[in-house]
Every structure is written in C-alpha cells, then in structure tokens.
C-alpha cells in the first residue's frame, strides 16, 4: 500500500509541474499575440526572443526575421485572431505550440518552440508557414481520390 501512495504522490507532483510549465508557456503566447495586436509583429517577435538571454548577439538575424514577418503580414492583410491548434511536450526539455493565425486574406501558421536547458524555459524557435492550410488541403484531397 505504501508503494501505491508514494507512486500516487510522485505522479501528482510531476503532473503539477508539467501543468505549471505548460500554463506559463501558453501565457507567453497569449502575451505575444496581445503585443502583436497592439504594436505589431516586430514588437511581438522582440518579446518572444527576449525570453532567451543567449540571443543578445544575434540582432542581425532577428532583424531579418522581423523584416520577413513584417513583409508577410503586410501581404495577408489585417490580423484578426489566433487559435492554438497544437501544443505538446516533445520531451521534457522541448515544448511546441502551433497556432492558426487568421488575417483578412488568408490564414498563416505560427510555430513556437521553447527549450529548457536547466531550470528555465527559453524561446528557441519561431516560424511562419505561409502555405498553411494549402499543404493540409492537398493531403486531404489526395486521400479522397
């Protein structure tokens, strides 16, 4: 009986920590989109990568990313809303959040990756997929035929 109680307590502790981490990471995404809506994509990207102290020397790469994101957002029209379509722990140190982002002219897919090297989660990767949902529609159409 003691083994079951110890296992149960351990299980609850681990789940509590996972839930806490997941909640914090999802709050970062909420804040990203709040900043995006109020100030624009460049400020939102600055916020996301401010969560990674190791990127201070990567300002040239961040400027290029912000410029590309700004160009893309101008082409698709006004931002409307986002929805998280997928989120999960890839393992205990990588967490992925994928969002469908609606604009006036077409949807985009934003992917956010967080990495935990020791004790703190940091932003690791951000991608914009301009072919979303075309890839998925093509797959569905092929499976129908």
Res. 20 pLDDT band, cuts 50 70 90: confident
Model pTM above 0.75: yes
Map out the domains of the chain as residue ranges.
2-144
* Segment (H or E) for 105: none
* Confidence at residue 58, expressed as pLDDT on a 0 to 100 scale: 74
- The answer as to CATH 3.10.450.50 being correct for domain 2-144 is yes
Residue 13 scores a pLDDT above 50: no
Is the sign of the CA dihedral 29, 124, 76, 60 positive or negative? positive
The first and second tokens of residue 109, run together, are 């897919």
Q: Strand 121-129 relative to strand 107-116: parallel, antiparallel, unpaired? A: antiparallel
């Amino acid at each position: 009986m003691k083994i079951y109680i110890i296992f149960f307590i351990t299980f609850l502790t681990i789940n509590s920590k996972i839930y806490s981490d997941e909640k914090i990471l999802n709050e970062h995404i909420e804040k990203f989109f709040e900043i995006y809506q109020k100030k624009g994509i460049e400020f939102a990207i600055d916020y996301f990568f401010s969560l990674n102290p190791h990127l201070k020397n990567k300002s040239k790469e961040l400027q290029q990313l912000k410029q590309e994101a700004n160009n893309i957002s101008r082409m698709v029209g006004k931002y409307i809303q986002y929805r998280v379509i997928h989120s999960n722990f890839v393992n205990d140190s990588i967490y992925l959040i994928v969002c469908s982002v609606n604009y006036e002219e077409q949807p985009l897919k934003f992917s956010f990756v967080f990495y935990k090297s020791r004790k703190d989660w940091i932003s690791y990767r951000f991608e914009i997929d301009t072919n979303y949902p075309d890839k998925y529609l093509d797959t569905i159409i092929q499976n129908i035929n």
